[in-house]
A and B are shown apart, each in its own frame.
Chain A
Amino acid sequence: MSHPVHPGKTALVTGGASGIGLGIARVLLDAGLHVIVADVRADHLETARAALAEAGDRALFLSLDVGNRDDWQRARETVEERYGRLHILCLNAGVGLLGSMIDSDEADWMWSTIVNLAGVTNGVDALLPHMLAHGEPGHVIATSSMGGLIVANDGGIYSSAKFGVVALMEELRRALAGTSVSASVLCPAAVNTNIFDHVRMRPEAFAAKSVPDERMLEEAEAFARGILSHGRSPLEVGEMVRAAIAADAPYVFTDSAVRPTLAARYNALLASVGA
C-alpha cells in the first residue's frame, strides 16, 4: 500500500494550533500537503494562523471541539466541500489532567475522557468512512502517550483514556488491514508543549470544583514547563509522525529513554506468568 504523504494530499490535525499538533501541521505543510488545522482554542488558532502564514491557502483554520459530534459533522462537510478527499487524519487533541483519581470528581473524569478518548472515537466515526470510500491511500494516527502504556501514581484518569486510545488504534490497524487506509498510534514522552497548563484551558462545562490559588497554579505550571522545555520539540515530533505515516509504522515513540519504564511493566507481566 502506498502512503499518503505527497504534495496535494489533504490532512486534518486536531489540537493542531499548538504543541505537537502544530508541529505535525507544519511538517505536513512543508511536505506540500493541504492541512486543516483544527482546534478548540480561538486564541491558539490565531497564533497558528500567523505562524503558518507562509503556507498560504494550503492551511485552513477550523474551530473544532473534538468532543462535539456536531463539530465533527461540520468538519467532514468542510473536507468534502473544500478538498473533496481527506488522506491523513491526526487525532491529536488532548488534555494532560493529572492528580489523584480517587479524589477527582465528575468534571475531571468527563473532561479528560471526552477529550482524550471520545475525541478520538468521534474523529474515527466522522471521517474514516469518508477515507475508506474514496479509496486513495489514507492514514489515521492518534496521539496517545507513554501514559497509554505505563501508569504513574498521579495520572489515573489520563492513563485510563490513553490506554484506551492505544487499544483503539491497534484494533483499527487490524481491522483496516487490506484496505486503502492504515492506522498508527503516537506515544510521546516529554515534548515541549503546553499540555499540562490544563487548569487555564478548562472549559466552563467541566469547571473544577476547586481551583488552586494563582501562586500554586503558577508553580505547578512552571514545574511542568521546566521539565517539558527539555523535551523534544514539536517539530521533531511532527517529523517523526510524517516518517511513521510514510513507513506505515504501527507505533511512534519520541524518546528511547523511556524503554526502562516500559520494560518494568513487561518484566512484571512476565514474572506473573504461571505465578
Chain B
Amino acid sequence: MGGPLVLALGADAPFLGPQPDYFAAEADAGIAAVRAQIEAMPVPSNTYLLAVGTGDPVAIDGADWTSEVLAPLRRAFAFATGAARKLRASGDRGSIVFLLPSSALLSDGPPSARSVLLRALLGMAEALRAELGSSPVRTSIVFHAVGEDPIELGARLEHAVAERPMYSLSADLDGARIRGYFAPLFAAIDAAGAGPPLPDIGPMAMVYDLDRVGTRRS
C-alpha cells in the first residue's frame, strides 16, 4: 500500500521515518498548482499527512506574519484541499491527518505567533472533517507533545489512519487542562444571556457528535 504523502511544515516537524513520500512544491506555488501536483502523484495508501512542528516561539510583537502564519497556512490549505479533492473524486476510503503540536489546542508556553498558525490549522482540520462528513474520506487530528516517544506517536498515527477518529490527544492534553481552557469560555457565554430566538437552521456542530468523533467511548 505504501506510506502516506507528507507535507512537513517547520524544520522540527516530527520525523516519520524513511517510508513516507515527502511532498515538495515551490514555496510560492499557488493553490491551484499545488492541487494539480497532488492530483498527479500516485498515493496508493490514500493517506495524506500534514506534519507540523512546534516551531520557534516568535513573540507577537516581533512576528513576520506573512512568513510565520499566512504563507504556511496557505500551503497547508492547498495541500489538504488538494488531497480532499483527489480522494473525493476517487470515491475511495481515505484519510487526511493533521499532526499538530498539542499547543495548537492549548497554548501555555511563551505567547507566540506560532500559536496563531497552529490554531488556524486546527480550525481548518475540523472544518475539513465537517465538510467531508458524508464521504468515505475522514480528517483526523493527531496532537503530539514535546518530547513524545516516537514509537508511541507512531502507534497513535497508525491507529488514526486505521480508525480515523476526529482527535488523538497526546498525554499532556488531559481532562483538567481541557476543562481549564473551556471554563472561562462557558462562563462568558452564560453571562451573555439568551438572544432572540432564531428560526430553525438545522442541526449545528454535527461534526462533534460523540457518535461521529470515533472515540473508543462512543
A interface, CB within 8 angstroms of B: 100-106, 109-110, 113, 117-118, 121-122, 124-125, 128-129, 148-157, 159-164, 166-168, 170-172, 174-175, 189-190, 226-227, 230-232, 240, 249-275
Contact A269 B74, CB 8 Å, known A117-B69, A227-B201 = no
Closest B residue to A168 by CB, please name it: B116
Q: Are A151 and B73 in contact (CB under 8 A)?
A: no
In the complex formed, the residue of B with least CB distance to A228 is: B198
CB of B208, distance to nearest CB on chain A (Å):
4
Q: Is there contact, CB below 8 Å, between A268 and B124? A: no
B205 contacts A150, C-beta separation under 8 Å: yes
A118 touches B192 (CB 8 A): no
Shortest Cβ distance from A265 into B: residue: B208
A23 to B191, CA, bound (A): 20
CB-based nearest B residue for A259: B189
How far apart sit A122 and B132, CA to CA, in the bound complex (Å)? 33
Q: A172-B60, A264-B209, A275-B168 are in contact. Are A160 and B120 (CB under 8 A)?
A: yes
Interface contact A155-B198, CB-CB below 8 Å: no
Contact of A269 among B32, B169, B189, B199 (CB under 8 A): B169
Residue numbers in B under 8 Å from A189 (CB-CB) = 195
B window 9-30: CB within 8 A of A:
30
- Rounded to whole Å, the gap between the CB of A171 and the closest CB of chain B is 4
Q: Is the interface of A mostly helix, strand, loop or mixed?
A: helix
On chain B, the residues within 8 Å of A151 by CB distance are 123, 126-127, 130, 205, 207
Question: What residues of chain B lie closer than 8 Å to A153, measured between beta carbons?
Answer: 127, 130-131, 133, 206-207
B149 contacts the other chain (CB 8 A): no
Q: When the two chains form their complex, are residues B213 and A156 in contact, meaning their CB atoms are under 8 A apart?
A: no
Note all chain A residues with C-beta closer than 8 A to B40.
none
Which of B32, B128, B174, B197 has the largest count of A CB atoms less than 10 A from its CB? B128
CA distance A162 to B65 in the complex (A): 15
CB neighbours (8 Å) of B111 from chain A are 171-172, 174-175
- B130 pairs with A109, CB closer than 8 A: no
- Report whether B126 and A121 are in contact in the complex, using a CB–CB cutoff of 8 Å: no
Q: Tell me the bound Cα distance from A161 to B182 in angstroms.
A: 20
In whole angstroms, what is the CA distance A104 to B59 when docked? 32
Q: Interface residues of B, CB < 8 Å — how many?
A: 78
Q: Of all chain A residues, which has the CB nearest B201? A: A227
* B123 A160 Cβ-Cβ under 8 A: yes
* Minimum distance in angstroms from B83 CB to a CB of chain A: 10
Whether the Cβ atoms of A256 and B178 lie closer than 8 Å is no
- Judge if B42 is at the interface, Cβ distance under 8 Å: no
C-beta contact mask, B178-197 vs A, less than 8 Å → 1, else 0?
A: 11001011101111111111
Whether the Cβ atoms of B197 and A230 lie closer than 8 Å is yes
- Give the 6 A-B CB pairs with smallest separation, nearest first: A163-B123, A156-B127, A167-B119, A164-B120, A255-B195, A175-B111
Cα separation A119 to B77 with both chains bound (whole Å) = 19
A85 to chain B, nearest CB (A): 19
Tell me, in angstroms, the Cα distance from A274 to B69 when the chains sit together: 30
Q: How far is the CA of A261 from the CA of B205 in the complex (A)?
A: 6
Q: Are the C-beta atoms of B213 and A272 separated by less than 8 Å?
A: yes
| A232→B195 contact, CB < 8 A | yes
> A271 contacts B65, CB within 8 Å?
no
Q: Mark B34-60, 1 if CB is under 8 A from A, else 0.
A: 000000000000000000000000011
Q: What is the CB-to-nearest-CB distance from A29 to chain B, in angstroms, rounded to a whole number?
A: 23
Known: A105-B31, A106-B31, A167-B120. A265 touches B205 (CB 8 A): yes
| Chain B residue at smallest Cβ distance from A163 | B123
In angstroms, Cα B80 to Cα A190, docked, is 29
**Neighbour of A256 across the interface among B115, B119, B122, B192, CB < 8 A:** B192
> Residues of B contacting A166 with CB < 8 Å?
119
Among residues of A, the one whose C-beta sits closest to the C-beta of B206 is: A153
Q: Mark B98-131, 1 if CB is under 8 A from A, else 0.
A: 0000000101000111011111111110111011
